[in-house]
A and B are shown apart, each in its own frame.
Chain A
Amino acid sequence: MAEVQLPEAPSRARVNEFAIKLANVNGTGSASTNNLLMQTIFRMGVPVSGKNLFPSNIQGLPTWYEVRVSQSGHTARTASFDLMVAMNGQTYQQDIGEVASGGYLVYDDSWPLDSEMRRPDITFLGAPLAQLCAQRFGTVKERILMKNVATAGLVAALLALPVDELSKQLVAAYSRRPQLLEDNQAALQLGYQYALENFPCPLPFHVEQMGAPDGRILIDGNTAVALGAVYAGATVGAWYPITPATSVMENFIRLCAQYRRHPGPDGREVNDYLILQAEDELAALGIVVGASWAGARAFTSTSGPGLSLMQELLGLAYYTEVPAVLVDVQRAGPSTGMPTRVQQADLLSAAFASHGDTRHILLFPSDPRECFLHTVKAFDLAERFQTPVLVMSDLDIGMNDWEVPELTWDDSYRPDRGRLLSPEELERLERFWRYGDPDPEWTTPRAVPGETPRAGHLVRGSGHDLRAVYTERPDEYQEVVDRLLRKHRAAAQHLPPPVVEMHEGAPFGVITMGSCDLAVREALEQLPGPAPSYLRVTGYPFPAAVAEFVAAHPHCYVVEQNRDGQLRSLLLIETGFGGERLRPVLSYGGLPITASFIRDRILEQESPK
């Protein structure tokens, strides 16, 4: 029954260095297969990444999962696949086209494959999974679900994954549902045995144990953000559901229920937190601003369209100097754009969110570990500088599982509440002027409502003087907004430091941010000649090191995931360097950037033909 074609191109024997892609229909339970494979490879100690390319749809549209295995640690997305598991007839044509020459394609030969689709340079492996599942399982639903697990078994055999490990994971997942566990185990074996008997297992590229993944975890950025918010002591969360940010607050809800619930005086459970699902993003940020004004650590999570709606309130928080933390899990815009595809295209609208002269503090985490660290940092910065702080995550970081070093926590950490004055401190003050008496970093004393008669004042989004009183006088107005600019600049040195790797004699520099990091590093290794220098900006406002880096190189490539070169524009605005000094390398199709793309764009410009 198996149909094995002899490859015309030589297969590549590469252990622990390859990529596979699984093509499926969404809503059929394929996610469990993906996780099973990813987890198993991770536990074999081999660096691995998984990218879920899913449609903005609940059931019936194509979905893919890409797994890259790289013992050299190159786990950015790649567009070249050694094995394609093509389980979606709708996308055969496209999927066959994406297999690297010499690679393999697994398909369900319960139905014949159109011979016109065949490629001579890849190996087609047909397995009658639908038929096998139909014989073994009763209902249609079972057959569909179990086919996914059978696929996992099949791939396990092809890649030399220990089937016992997959089996163990099924036990962990379904220990409370014996019938389901039995079905899953049977399906796993069905695929595994079929492959062993009919295919040339293992394939030339496969996985070999590299030791335990010591000190590494597999986590998505949205979970890490939520964890950061819990650890930073956030007590109020407000949100409106939006892909791909939804799981930030869903995780915060789950984690708060786990860590912040305790028996109250009457024995009933009470919560040390309050999370409001708001009516829209305006209200979500409004609630955050109100809660922060009243002293709580509060945050919201959103994506592009929500960020657009929050602009006015961001301006309010900026001008009234109220802390606010906003996590923007960026997706492809403009407008609704592609909600399930990635971009880094909110940069400028976030940096200068709202009308009038505004500028905000931004943080650019590059992986889930930094999502955790930057979220904690965001609360400290927001309170210290009494202003909104935006954590600029993206869909790739937020929704995919990344392998990162285990998170650690310093138990001596205490929140930096900035110049939030206690009633006793207020009593000792000669005078309380909300926007007067700045410290060396241009922040002014702050008081929350309800504490002391000494602090009476009314903050306002309208023009105000040092006492927060309404003004239309040019000098009084300017005194406040000039200080806001100085305060914003002063924040630069408190942001996570940029990652700078200078190389003597570097022909040029490469600048990037956020989730481009891995792909850029991989591309740099592939470039011939002397090593370029590398700069990863980690936040805005930029510290002096950023302008120094640009100045130190004849030119720099600015690698980012948007059409308009938004990071480049921000660098131009802040450093004065532009034109030929800063050359854009832009990936904005919605799929995570790859090393080969970056390498090729740089090579094109470095060696023009």
Chain B
Amino acid sequence: MTSIAKPQIPLLPLERNQLGLTIRDYAGSMSTLCAGCGHDSVTAAIQEALWGLSIPPYQVAKLSGIGCSSKTPQYFDSEAVGFNSVHGRMAAVASGAAAANRDLVVVGVSGDGDSLSIGLGNLAHAIRRNVRMLYVIANNGVYGLTKGQFSASADIGSRSRKGEPNLMPPVDPMLLGLSLGATFLARGFSGDKAQLVPILRAGLSHGGFALVDVISPCVQFNDHEGSTKSFRYVREHELQDIDADIIPVRGQIHSEQTPGSVTEVELHDGSRVLFRAVPEGYDPRDRVRVGSYLVESARRGEIATGLLYLDETTPDMHQLSATTQDRLWDLPFERLCPGSTELARFQARLR
């Protein structure tokens, strides 16, 4: 997950999780992204979140589409089986994987072009289906691999490196998700791992589709003066309004919360999420108020980060479909095939 070769022997003894694994056991290959790319920090945060939750590395299914961000599944959890699919279709492919095996920990990594332009339809409907998965958008407002075209999340007035302004309104995945009935919406900043890791852990523990929008500046094509997705812009305009941390039932792993205006929400797996709502009374379960809050902060040019919306009551894809608790992919054939006697009976009405 880094751009430089990692030393084989750790200098300090590394902390172990409940499986006795260190963060290195969740590592992937060396990143081939540009030095300083925000996406590498996203990768590191995903790695830390998986480690922190003591998820067996091989139980993860990593998926992505096409683009810089979609290269990142190679850079974490090399024990997992992954699928770098085609542009814009990861949400659909992930839906299928989740359908076939409901025990998988499905992690999808995508970008703003992959998710909000070419793949907008597939993302929207994966949200509607409430597929249980963590879906990360590493959002930099720009097409990196083709060298700097605006993406659908570029803000109005944001300037490309050549100086042209973007004139079209951005697609905000959080507002989009809210309107589609998303059940988990969070936004982080690749430069703020302390906030991002807990968000990702909460997303991994969520019982449905967890959409995490991570502002992840592109050091090559969108980190200049005039860009609204640059490190500097985000640092200056980020609103850390809603902190979240996850406290798995097995015990507290990480919590730097200062008690105050705290809302506690229990996730499907029994773990709890705490929100520190800076605007008095911010309730991430109040869809109407979350919506107006997001619109207002966007109008002020501010980026609201944190766990923005949560609904743990809506059934996920498998619940909606009343699927068996067993994994579909390896159900015994005897349970699936009605057999010759039944075939004869079926055809009685066709005679």
**Chain A residues proximal to chain B, CB less than 8 Å:** 43, 213, 216-219, 227, 230-233, 235-236, 238, 259-260, 264-265, 268-276, 278-280, 282-296, 298, 312-313, 316, 320, 406-411, 413-415, 447-453, 455-462, 470
Q: In the assembly, what is the distance between CA of A413 and CA of B336, in Å? A: 12
Q: In the assembly, what is the distance between CA of A530 and CA of B77, in Å? A: 69
Instruction: Indicate if the CB atoms of B97 and A290 lie closer than 8 Å.
Output: yes
Instruction: Indicate if the CB atoms of A450 and B101 lie closer than 8 Å.
Output: yes
**From B77, which residue of chain A is reached at the shortest CB distance?**
A456
Instruction: Indicate if the CB atoms of A296 and B100 lie closer than 8 Å.
Output: yes
Instruction: Indicate if the CB atoms of A235 and B83 lie closer than 8 Å.
Output: no
Contacts A293-B93, A458-B82; A260 near B336 (Cβ below 8 A): yes
Chain A interface helix/strand/loop/mixed? mixed
**From A410, which residue of chain B is reached at the shortest CB distance?**
B340
Q: In the assembly, what is the distance between CA of A448 and CA of B328, in Å? A: 13
Instruction: Indicate if the CB atoms of A461 and B86 lie closer than 8 Å.
Output: yes
Proximity string of chain B (80-120) to chain A, C-beta cutoff 8 Å, 1 when within and 0 when not: 11111110110111111111110110000000000000000
CB<8 Å pairs between A and B, sample of 5 = A272-B336, A295-B100, A406-B351, A449-B97, A458-B82
Shortest Cβ gap from A354 to chain B (Å): 10
Instruction: Indicate if the CB atoms of B339 and A293 lie closer than 8 Å.
Output: no
A-B contact count (CB 8 A): 235
Instruction: Indicate if the CB atoms of A274 and B62 lie closer than 8 Å.
Output: no
Complex contacts, B59 vs chain A, CB 8 Å: 450
Chain B interface bracket (under 10, 10 to 19, 20 to 34, 35 or more):
35 or more
Complex contacts, A294 vs chain B, CB 8 Å: 61, 96-101, 104, 329
Q: In the assembly, what is the distance between CA of A368 and CA of B59, in Å? A: 42
B347 at the interface (CB under 8 A from A): yes
B268 at the interface (CB under 8 A from A): no
Q: Which one, B84, B86, B347, contacts A217 given CB within 8 A?
A: B347
Complex contacts, B103 vs chain A, CB 8 Å: 450
**Known contacts A276-B321, A316-B86; 15 further A-B pairs (Cβ under 8 A):** A235-B336, A238-B96, A270-B323, A275-B321, A290-B93, A290-B96, A290-B98, A292-B96, A294-B98, A312-B89, A408-B340, A450-B58, A450-B101, A456-B78, A459-B81
Contacts A273-B328, A296-B329, A414-B333; A282 near B351 (Cβ below 8 A): no
Report the stretch among B122-130, B212-220, B226-234 that lies at the interface. Answer: B122-130
Shortest Cβ gap from A205 to chain B (Å): 26
Complex contacts, B338 vs chain A, CB 8 Å: 230-231, 259
Q: Which one, A235, A282, A298, contacts B122 given CB within 8 A?
A: A282
Contacts A231-B338, A286-B92, A287-B99; A268 near B322 (Cβ below 8 A): yes
Q: In the assembly, what is the distance between CA of A264 and CA of B323, in Å? A: 10
Contacts A231-B338, A450-B61; A270 near B324 (Cβ below 8 A): yes
Q: Which one, B83, B323, B335, contacts A459 given CB within 8 A?
A: B83
B342 at the interface (CB under 8 A from A): yes
Contacts A272-B331, A409-B343, A449-B104; A455 near B81 (Cβ below 8 A): yes
Instruction: Indicate if the CB atoms of B93 and A406 lie closer than 8 Å.
Output: no
